[in-house]
Amino acid sequence: MTGFLTVLLLLYIFLRERKKRKSVQCICVFWGFHYYQHQCPNIEARDCFILLSCLVAITCMPLANANGTEKIGRSHIMEVQQMLDLLKSTIENSNASLYSPTNDEIQANCTFKFMHCYLLELEVILIETFDKHETTRTEIHHMKKLLERQQQFNSSTCLPCEAQTVANSTTFLKNFEFLLKRINNTL
């Protein structure tokens, strides 16, 4: 967005001070021509190039956000399962009390919400144990963002994470694995 605003500002300066050599030279350097005023393309071609660039930027912005429509699939669930397998010993050695809804508490329309809760608690374990799994933390963060974009994530019937049962880390791990299997079976 900053680049687009810069282009608009430069276009305004260019049109306002079209006759001054300095502004024309500035536009030429900005667009990578690296020439002086007498070596720049003619004014009509330059104006056309700037306008086309603006149009391309405007039309490509929605495409840049197209990944926001990505749905949770089996591959995502497998990634989370692999993270759990990698962190299993860290989780089991943790003495943290974690929000861990039992499988009876999880409604069918709240599975992604509770998966998000489990990922939040998994981050707590990694922070409290000073675990060095930076890539895993990054993967958890990206998975949480993906879950937040799911349609059922914001269901008003789902209770917040803090309203769930508190359990030890072993129970947390067992319940999380069961939830992943449940989600995988419904996909």
pLDDT at 22 over 60: no
Cα gap 38→87, rounded to integer Å: 64
pLDDT at 3 over 80: no
Domains of the chain: 2-64 (no CATH), 74-186 (1.20.1250.70)
What's at 13, amino acid-wise?
I
Cα gap 156→160, rounded to integer Å: 10
Give the mean model confidence (pLDDT) for residues 97-116: 84
Instruction: Note the Cα 82 to chain centre separation in Å.
Output: 20
pLDDT of residue 153: 63
pLDDT in tens, 38-70: 555 566 666 767 766 766 666 665 544 444 456
Of 115, 80, 102, the closest CA to residue 171 belongs to 102
pLDDT of residue 174: 92
